[in-house]
Every structure is written in structure tokens, then in C-alpha cells.
């Protein structure tokens, strides 16, 4: 596979959300990611039809019984050949399986061991159950997302699971790989979604300290408080987005919306924002979304239509950048970011559990008789 991480070998323990997203990021960049599935998940015959598990794309799957000592030993043999291993279980689970960091680093002192959790490896909540919505709540992120006078709105599960979780772990792994090139040593990465969500809030915490961000929801520059940074419904029931923060862009917004700047209060007079928002709401409802696109396209208003999941891949900009790909009949985002020399490619659809057990183990140094014995002993499926 192409990509800047070509040659890097990664072991991924199957999970949900942030773990698979991390694996997708690494695999998209060319790493050879081998997913460890539990043998109980093997379905027998591989189902036909499109494979829609986009987070699972790009890697092979080996199915092991991790309660079997030979299944554990199989993982440790893989560790000897790997650069990275990562898991997304609660603290202590891998240790109980006999696959904790100490054991793996003893087998391979250069291995990078990533740990993905919601609350972190220690602290009073370390062993508690949770999901994205809980992690971003404790980080202070969820409180600020929503409109004035209304309850907080979860931003899908983008902030905790993916931005503050999987992407942060992938970044940590990349950092550890760079450091290892100098030290020759592996290390353990404690990636917690609550930490990552807080890191994503850095500018907001800075604004709060400086006095330009209020703790009240929906009254600030970027949280729908400002009339020039919001979404508006159009005549046909669709929506457009406006982000005219800078004065020159705000002037263009007023011009193309048919408002006279000289008759309006200063842009950043917060006391007038609610009134001006009502005026813009009425104006945008006078035309359809496509009509507003014709008016705004090619300007510096900082404007875009709010596209659906069906519409986004079909936009002219997405098509020009080849931003979405069709892999086995499933339209999905292309690898990001982009590189001019080591260009990432999508070469393998998502794997079913255990689909590549024999081939992958052989490629990682197991002989055919060893694989046959593991299957006979039910250590692999």
C-alpha cells in the first residue's frame, strides 16, 4: 500500500468508535494494520453485498480465542514483528488477558503500545462506563454547544470519539514513531477521550480567560450567538451557513443580503445581535437555497449550503478534489490529509471477522503446520 506510513506494522484489537477510527487513519496512510477479532465473532460464510463498515477499511482480520493460551501466545508472536499495538478496553482488561504493556514490551522493547479509553488509565472514573456524550460533558465541551435558552446539543459523536479520541491516539502513535527513530525504544500512550475533548476546547478556554467568551450558551461569536455566524433556513426548507466574521466579509454579507451597512449598528454590538438575526432570517427565507448559492458563490461572504450526506459527495468542489470514493458500492470519504509524494490509496474494503486469518498469520511468520495446529486446538477460527 502507498502512503507515508508504508512499512509500519500495527496490531489493532477490535473495538467500537475511536479505536477503529484510529485504525482507519493509520491504514489510510499506508500502515499495515492487522485487526485482532475474537473467534466468537466469526460468522462462517462471508456475507455478500456492500461492506458499509467504513471505519474498518484497509486492514485484514485474524480471529483468535484470547482465553486460549495459544491464542495469547499468537498475539505475542505478532508483537515481536510489530511496530505498534493498540487497544480500547477498560483499564486492566489487557493485563488480565496476559497482553498488558509490560508483557508486550518485554517481547518487543521497541513496540509502541496505545491505550484508548474514555476516562484515562487512572482517576476516580477510570473504570466507569461512558460514551462520547459523557466525556465531552466532563471536559466542558458539551455545555457550550447549543442555542441560547435551550439545552446542550450533542455534536454527533465527533468531538469525543473521533476528534478527541481516535485522531488523538493516531497522532500520539505518529509522535511515538518519530521519537523511537532517535531512542530506539517503545512506550505506552494513554489516550483518553476526556483529555482530547478538553484539548479541542483550548481556544474556548482561552477566550473565557480573556473575557470574550461567556459561559452562557448561544450568546458568543461561534455558538450561534452572532447573526453573522449561523445557519439560516431558505424558502424551500433547506439551509445555508454564514461565517462572515471579518469586517470585509461582513460588509459583503450585508451587500448581497440587500442590507445597508450605514443604517445598521456596529457589527460587534452584541446587544443588537438578536434583532439582526431576525432580519437575516426573514431575508434568507425569501429565496431558495440554490438561488442564494447563485448570489453568494464566487464572493468572500464565507457562505456555503448545508448539504445532506447524499448531497455532499456530489458537490462540484468534492468532485474536483475527488474527496469521496466508491469502494465496493459504498461511497465514503477519501483518506486525509493529502501528500504529494506518498499518496494514500484505498485498496481494501472492510474485513469480516477472521476473513484473513491464515493468509495474515503466514505473512507475519507463521508456518502452515503451525496455523493448522492453532486451528486444531481452536486457538484461531
292-341 pLDDT, tens digit each: 999 999 999 999 999 999 999 999 999 999 999 999 899 999 999 999 99
pLDDT tens, 327-379? Answer: 989 999 999 999 999 999 887 899 999 999 999 999 999 999 999 999 999 99
18 pLDDT higher than 90: yes
Point out the least confidently predicted range of 28-37, 138-147, 255-264, 282-291.
Answer: 255-264
Is 244 inside a domain boundary?
Answer: yes
CATH at 112: 3.40.50.10540
Residues 296 and 344 in one domain: no
Q: How confident is the model at residue 1 (pLDDT cuts 50, 70, 90)?
A: low
Residues 64 and 149 in one domain: yes
Domain count, the chain: 2
Is 313 inside a domain boundary?
Answer: no
Beginning with the edge strand found earlier in the chain, give each strand of the sheet holding 229-233 in spatial order: 229-233, 239-243, 303-305
Residues 276 and 372 in one domain: no
Is 165 inside a domain boundary?
Answer: yes
Which residue in 327, 333, 15 sits closest to 169, CA to CA? 15
Q: Once rounded to an integer, what is the mean pLDDT over residues 18-40?
A: 96
Residues 117 and 174 in one domain: yes
Residue with cell 507463521: 366
Q: How confident is the model at residue 256 (pLDDT cuts 50, 70, 90)?
A: very high
What pLDDT score was predicted for residue 214? 97
CATH at 273: 3.30.1540.10
Residues 56 and 107 in one domain: yes
Residues 189 and 297 in one domain: no
The dihedral over CA atoms of 370, 371, 373, 379, expressed in degrees to the nearest 10, equals: 120
Quote the domain boundaries for residue 347. Answer: 9-200+324-376
Q: How confident is the model at residue 65 (pLDDT cuts 50, 70, 90)?
A: very high
Q: pTM for the whole thing? A: 0.95
Q: Once rounded to an integer, what is the mean pLDDT over residues 45-68?
A: 92
- Bridge partners, residue 63, by sequence: 37
Q: How confident is the model at residue 49 (pLDDT cuts 50, 70, 90)?
A: confident
Q: φ, ψ for residue 83 (rounded to 5)? A: -95, -30
Is 207 inside a domain boundary?
Answer: no
The answer to whether residues 177 and 187 touch, using CB atoms and an 8 Å cutoff, is no
The answer to whether residues 170 and 179 touch, using CB atoms and an 8 Å cutoff, is no
Among 305, 338, 353, the domain-final residue is: 305
111 pLDDT higher than 80: yes
**CA-to-CA distance for 283 and 275, rounded, in angstroms?**
13
Residues 336 and 301 in one domain: no
What is the chain's mean pLDDT, rounded?
96
- Write out the catalytic residue numbers: 131, 161
Residues 193 and 247 in one domain: no
Is 157 inside a domain boundary?
Answer: yes
The dihedral over CA atoms of 264, 268, 270, 276, expressed in degrees to the nearest 10, equals: 40
Among 278, 305, 332, the domain-final residue is: 305
Residues 332 and 290 in one domain: no
Residues 53 and 109 in one domain: yes
Residues 185 and 263 in one domain: no
Is 289 inside a domain boundary?
Answer: yes
Is 213 inside a domain boundary?
Answer: no
Residues 244 and 361 in one domain: no
Is 206 inside a domain boundary?
Answer: no
Amino acid at each position: 500500500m502507498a502512503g507515508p506510513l508504508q512499512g509500519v506494522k500495527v496490531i489493532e484489537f477490535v473495538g467500537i468508535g475511536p479505536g477503529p477510527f484510529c485504525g482507519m487513519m493509520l491504514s489510510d496512510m499506508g500502515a499495515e494494520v492487522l485487526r485482532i477479532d475474537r473467534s466468537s465473532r466469526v460468522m462462517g460464510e462471508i456475507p455478500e453485498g456492500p461492506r458499509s463498515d467504513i471505519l474498518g477499511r484497509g486492514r485484514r482480520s485474524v480471529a483468535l480465542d484470547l482465553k486460549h493460551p495459544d491464542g495469547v501466545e499468537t498475539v505475542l508472536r505478532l508483537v515481536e514483528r510489530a511496530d505498534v499495538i493498540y487497544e480500547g478496553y477498560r483499564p486492566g482488561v489487557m493485563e488480565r488477558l496476559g497482553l498488558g504493556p509490560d508483557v508486550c514490551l518485554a517481547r518487543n522493547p521497541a513496540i509502541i503500545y496505545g491505550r484508548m479509553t474514555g476516562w484515562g488509565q487512572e482517576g476516580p472514573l477510570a473504570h466507569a462506563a461512558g460514551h462520547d456524550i459523557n466525556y465531552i460533558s466532563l471536559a466542558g465541551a458539551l455545555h457550550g454547544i447549543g442555542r441560547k435558552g435551550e439545552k446542550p446539543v450533542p455534536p454527533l459523536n465527533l468531538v469525543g470519539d473521533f476528534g478527541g479520541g481516535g485522531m488523538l491516539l493516531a497522532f500520539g502513535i505518529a509522535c511515538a514513531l518519530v521519537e523511537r527513530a532517535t531512542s530506539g525504544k517503545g512506550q505506552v500512550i494513554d489516550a483518553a477521550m476526556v483529555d482530547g475533548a478538553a484539548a479541542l476546547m483550548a481556544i474556548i478556554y482561552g477566550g473565557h480567560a480573556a473575557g470574550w467568551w461567556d459561559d452562557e450558551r448561544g450568546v458568543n461569536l461561534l455558538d450561534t450567538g452572532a447573526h453573522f455566524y449561523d445557519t439560516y433556513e431558505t424558502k424551500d426548507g433547506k439551509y445555508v451557513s454564514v461565517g462572515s466574521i471579518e469586517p470585509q466579509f461582513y460588509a459583503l454579507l450585508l451587500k448581497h443580503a440587500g442590507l445597508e451597512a450605514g443604517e445598521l449598528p456596529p457589527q460587534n454590538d452584541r446587544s443588537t445581535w438578536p434583532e439582526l438575526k431576525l432580519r437575516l432570517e426573514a431575508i434568507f427565507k425569501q429565496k431558495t437555497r440554490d438561488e442564494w448559492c447563485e448570489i453568494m458563490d464566487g464572493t468572500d461572504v464565507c457562505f456555503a449550503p448545508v448539504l445532506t450526506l447524499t448531497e455532499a459527495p456530489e458537490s462540484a468542489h468534492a468532485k474536483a478534489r475527488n474527496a469521496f470514493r466508491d469502494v465496493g458500492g459504498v461511497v465514503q470519504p477519501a483518506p486525509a490529509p493529502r501528500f504529494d509524494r506518498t499518496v494514500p490509496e484505498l485498496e481494501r474494503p472492510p474485513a469480516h471477522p477472521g476473513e484473513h486469518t491464515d493468509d495474515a498469520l503466514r505473512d507475519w511468520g507463521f508456518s502452515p503446520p503451525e496455523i493448522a495446529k492453532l486451528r486444531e486446538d481452536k486457538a484461531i477460527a
